[in-house]
């Protein structure tokens, strides 16, 4: 008891009022049969669907497939984003040549690309990973351009005095100095990549494994429990990815010290 | 400019060197802008040429990659028969309506959480959990609950706008420096004055950031929803073209999707420049 009292202060309880109240109303309304229970299923249905999905074996293969696409696309898009961003940020000519095209194309809403991509690359993993990579590319490229262009001239001059070659300049000065913005871009990219993974699985749904595919199948079969569970899972994984990103960000940027 | 040039002309016989310098300076003024304009073109042109070659010599099937002329003609046709306009207007209306509702609720929520710690204690944990599920995650459930009518699009677009607006409003108000509030108290500001003259102006840039994010997310969510479940709108036009294997229709619609996104962004930038004028005048 004292442990609970020490770790959960009086105020924290307030945060539980709304969710618990919501759960109670949900249970009561469905139990009393005031609503169409085929459409608004009782919470027990969600748990049952979750249990069934867990034990059916498609859960882990689906989760693995989704996370695999997410990470593959994220890594690919981020690498290209950092490379492109450095080039455009450092070279005035690259900026003049490719900058306007890049800034024009970024206005096209991401999902509008999907039908084009599916025509050119099909509905398989290749198309999905390409789409996830595209969605990760924009924030990383934007962050890198911003960071690289913000590197202080004085620092570059010092590097020149020490006769840094181009490679040293890039890896010892420019990229570290731009890292806060690059990492902010990577963080955004992680969120967008997960969104794009789910979106591509909805829109290019096949009978293959994947979290989004499972949700769409649940919707087609009118399995509301599975759909709700899938939704919660999508949110939970997004949350976990976000936490990991925050941790990694704090760790990588520790050298900056506390902002005073 | 032109008047000066005509006066300068007879002088050129006497002072050729200084006029030359004049010309060079004037040339130098517009040269960067012109260069920027000229250099923006080679890259898209190269892609265009490659596209033309690939489609003319049919390196890929025309159903997969139509020629640029086809796309242009289709674009003109769709523009003339009103398909592009009517669908564009529908999408535009949906995004504005959904965004308005979502941003309004988000602003109210953010202000409530920012100003009242009690309200924050009750609402913030649930709000955070709500925000964790991306808009697309809600889509299948909403499709089952409210069908695929107009309500689905408005709700989803509103949700996409609500989260960033509420979060940034809350953070913006929460991070108003206490020094400002102390000073206001010294001057004996009333509660209303404190809000209108100190808290909101100080929080405004952050709130505005949330509004911009909200609009971007709204547009993203709307296009996704229209791709998945709609019988009109730009997203539908894309899906329709895709199903008929008319990639020219798809490409024309994608261009308009980009144009609408660009216009939305520019409108907000203009409003921002107007609203934040006071900031620049201060220095």
Do both B147 and B105 map to the same domain? yes
Within 8 A of A116 by CB-CB distance, chain B residues are 247, 250-251, 254
Q: Give the pLDDT score at B107.
A: 95
Within a domain: residue A220? Answer: yes
Residue in this structure with the two tokens 């006071």, named with its chain if needed: B278
Residues 191-210 of A with CB under 8 A from B: 191, 194-195, 198-199, 202-203
Do both A12 and A116 map to the same domain? no
Kindly state the percentage of chain A with pLDDT values over 90. 24
Do both B102 and B42 map to the same domain? no
Residue in this structure with the two tokens 């099909």, named with its chain if needed: A122
* B189-to-A211, B172, B180, B185, B204 alpha-carbon distances in Å: 55, 20, 11, 6, 19
Q: What is the DSSP letter of A165?
A: -
Count how many domains chain B has: 2
**Does the CB of A232 have a partner CB in chain B at under 8 Å?**
yes
Do both A174 and A104 map to the same domain? yes
- What does the pLDDT average to over A65-81? 95
Which of B44, B138, B219 has its CB closest to that of A109?
A: B219
Q: Give the pLDDT score at A5.
A: 54
**Does the CB of A122 have a partner CB in chain B at under 8 Å?**
no
**pLDDT of B171 strictly over 80:** yes
**Does the CB of B148 have a partner CB in chain A at under 8 Å?**
no
Question: How many Cβ atoms are within 10 Å of B189's Cβ, its own excluded?
Answer: 16
Domain extent, residue B126, equals 82-281
Asked if the Cβ–Cβ distance from A19 to B43 is below 8 Å, we say no
Within a domain: residue A205? Answer: yes
Do both B6 and B106 map to the same domain? no
Alpha-carbon distance A110 to A103, whole Å? 14
Domain extent, residue A17, equals 2-32
Nearest-CA distance from A254 to chain B in Å?
Answer: 23
Do both A103 and A19 map to the same domain? no
Do both B21 and B96 map to the same domain? no
Confidence of residue A1 (pLDDT cuts 50, 70, 90): very low
**pLDDT of B177 strictly over 90:** no
Q: CATH code at B98?
A: 1.10.3720.10
Asked if the Cβ–Cβ distance from A116 to B123 is below 8 Å, we say no
**Does the CB of A156 have a partner CB in chain B at under 8 Å?**
no
Do both B163 and B95 map to the same domain? yes
Which of A116, A219, A232 has its CB closest to that of B144?
A: A219
Within a domain: residue A37? Answer: no
Kindly state the percentage of chain B with pLDDT values over 90. 23
Convert the pLDDT of each residue in B198-232 to its tens digit. 888 889 889 998 999 899 889 989 999 999 888 88
Residues 123-142 of A with CB under 8 A from B: none
Within 8 A of A16 by CB-CB distance, chain B residues are 125
**Does the CB of A17 have a partner CB in chain B at under 8 Å?**
yes
Task: Extract the tokens encoding B185.
Answer: 């108290």
Do both A21 and A129 map to the same domain? no
Lowest mean pLDDT among A38-42, A216-220, B25-29, B271-275: B25-29
Element containing residue A110 per DSSP (H, E) = none
Alpha helices (runs of H) in A162-206, residue ranges in sequence order: 166-168, 175-203
Arithmetic mean of pLDDT over chain A:
85
Non-local CB neighbours of B169 within 8 Å, separated by 6+ positions: B106, B107, B109, B110, B111, B114, B203, B206, B207, B210
Q: Give the pLDDT score at A73.
A: 96
Do both B87 and B44 map to the same domain? no
Within a domain: residue B158? Answer: yes
Within a domain: residue B64? Answer: no
Count how many domains chain A has: 2
- What does the pLDDT average to over B261-274? 87
Kindly state the percentage of chain B with pLDDT values over 70. 88
Within a domain: residue B242? Answer: yes
From A35, which residue of chain B is nearest by alpha-carbon distance? Answer: B145
Do both A139 and A10 map to the same domain? no
Do both B30 and B114 map to the same domain? no
Which of A108, A216, A235 has its CB closest to that of B132?
A: A235
Do both A84 and A104 map to the same domain? yes
Do both A135 and A23 map to the same domain? no
**Does the CB of B42 have a partner CB in chain A at under 8 Å?**
yes
Do both B40 and B136 map to the same domain? no
Do both A198 and A224 map to the same domain? yes
Convert the pLDDT of each residue in A216-251 to its tens digit. 888 888 888 888 888 888 889 988 998 888 888 888
Confidence of residue B165 (pLDDT cuts 50, 70, 90): very high
**pLDDT of B159 strictly over 90:** yes
Alpha-carbon distance A222 to A172, whole Å? 56
Within a domain: residue B271? Answer: yes
Question: How many Cβ atoms are within 10 Å of B32's Cβ, its own excluded?
Answer: 10
Within a domain: residue A38? Answer: no
Arithmetic mean of pLDDT over chain B:
83
Do both A6 and A120 map to the same domain? no
Confidence of residue B158 (pLDDT cuts 50, 70, 90): very high
Highest mean pLDDT pick, A137-146, A203-212, B268-277: A137-146
Asked if the Cβ–Cβ distance from A19 to B145 is below 8 Å, we say no
Q: Give the pLDDT score at B283.
A: 42
Do both B26 and B89 map to the same domain? no
Do both A58 and A24 map to the same domain? no
Confidence of residue B279 (pLDDT cuts 50, 70, 90): low
Do both A60 and A151 map to the same domain? yes
Report angle CA B160, B163, B165 to the nearest 5 degrees: 105
Q: Give the pLDDT score at A6.
A: 54
Asked if the Cβ–Cβ distance from B140 to A219 is below 8 Å, we say yes
Do both A14 and A100 map to the same domain? no
Q: Give the pLDDT score at A8.
A: 56
Within 8 A of B140 by CB-CB distance, chain A residues are 202, 215-216, 218-219, 227, 230-231
Within a domain: residue A172? Answer: yes
Q: CATH code at A87?
A: 1.10.3720.10
**pLDDT of B15 strictly over 50:** no
From A120, which residue of chain B is nearest by alpha-carbon distance? Answer: B64
Within a domain: residue A22? Answer: yes
Within 8 A of B141 by CB-CB distance, chain A residues are 224, 227-228, 231
Within 8 A of B122 by CB-CB distance, chain A residues are 14-15, 17-18
Alpha helices (runs of H) in A42-174, residue ranges in sequence order: 43-55, 58-90, 92-105, 113-121, 125-149, 153-161, 166-168
- What does the pLDDT average to over A123-131? 91
Do both B38 and B103 map to the same domain? no
């Amino acid at each position: 008891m004292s442990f609970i009292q020490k770790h959960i202060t009086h105020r924290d309880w307030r945060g539980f009022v709304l969710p618990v109240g919501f759960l109670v109303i949900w249970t009561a309304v469905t139990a009393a049969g005031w609503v169409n229970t085929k459409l608004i299923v009782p919470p027990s249905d969600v748990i049952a669907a979750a249990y069934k999905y867990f034990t059916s074996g498609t859960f882990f293969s689906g989760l693995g497939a989704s996370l695999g696409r997410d990470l593959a696309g994220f890594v690919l898009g981020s690498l290209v984003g950092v490379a492109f961003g450095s080039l455009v940020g450092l070279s005035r000519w690259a900026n003049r040549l490719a900058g306007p095209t890049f800034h024009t194309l970024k206005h096209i809403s991401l999902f509008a690309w999907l039908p084009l991509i599916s025509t050119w690359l099909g509905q398989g993993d290749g198309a999905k990973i390409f789409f996830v990579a595209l969605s990760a590319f924009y924030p990383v490229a934007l962050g890198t351009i911003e960071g690289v262009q913000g590197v202080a001239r004085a620092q570059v001059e010092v590097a020149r005095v020490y006769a840094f070659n181009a490679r040293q300049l890039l890896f010892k000065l420019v990229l570290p100095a731009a890292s806060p913005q690059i990492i902010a871009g990577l963080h955004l990219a992680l969120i967008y990549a997960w969104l794009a993974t789910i979106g591509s699985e909805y829109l290019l749904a096949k009978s293959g494994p994947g979290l989004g595919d499972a949700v769409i199948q649940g919707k087609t079969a009118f399995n509301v429990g599975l759909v709700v569970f899938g939704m919660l899972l999508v949110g939970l994984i997004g949350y976990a990815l976000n936490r990991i990103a925050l941790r990694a960000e704090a760790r990588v940027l520790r050298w900056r010290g506390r902002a005073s | 400019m032109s008047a000066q040039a005509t006066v300068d002309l007879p002088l050129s016989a006497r002072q050729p060197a200084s006029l030359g310098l004049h010309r060079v300076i004037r040339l130098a003024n517009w040269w960067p802008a012109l260069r920027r304009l000229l250099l923006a073109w080679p890259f898209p042109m190269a892609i265009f040429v490659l596209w033309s070659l690939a489609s003319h010599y049919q390196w890929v099937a025309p159903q997969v990659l139509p020629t640029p002329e086809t796309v242009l003609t289709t674009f003109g046709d769709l523009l003339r028969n009103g398909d592009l306009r009517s669908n564009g207007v529908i999408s535009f209306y949906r995004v504005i309506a959904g965004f308005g509702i979502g941003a309004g609720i988000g602003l109210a929520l953010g202000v409530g959480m920012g100003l009242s710690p009690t309200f924050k204690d009750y609402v913030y944990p649930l709000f955070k959990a709500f925000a964790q599920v991306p808009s697309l995650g809600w889509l299948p459930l909403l499709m089952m609950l409210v069908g695929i009518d107009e309500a689905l699009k408005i709700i989803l677009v509103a949700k996409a706008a609500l989260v960033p607006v509420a979060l940034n409003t809350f953070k913006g108000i929460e991070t108003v420096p206490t020094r400002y509030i102390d000073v206001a108290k010294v001057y004996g500001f009333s509660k209303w004055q404190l809000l209108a003259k100190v808290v909101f102006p100080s929080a405004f840039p952050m709130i505005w950031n949330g509004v911009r994010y909200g609009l971007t997310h709204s547009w993203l969510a709307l296009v996704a929803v229209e791709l998945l479940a709609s019988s009109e709108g730009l997203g539908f036009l894309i899906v329709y073209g895709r199903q008929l294997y008319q990639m020219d229709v798809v490409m024309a619609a994608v261009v308009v999707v980009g144009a609408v996104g660009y216009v939305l962004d520019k409108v907000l930038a203009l409003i921002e420049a107007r609203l934040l004028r006071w900031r620049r005048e201060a220095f």
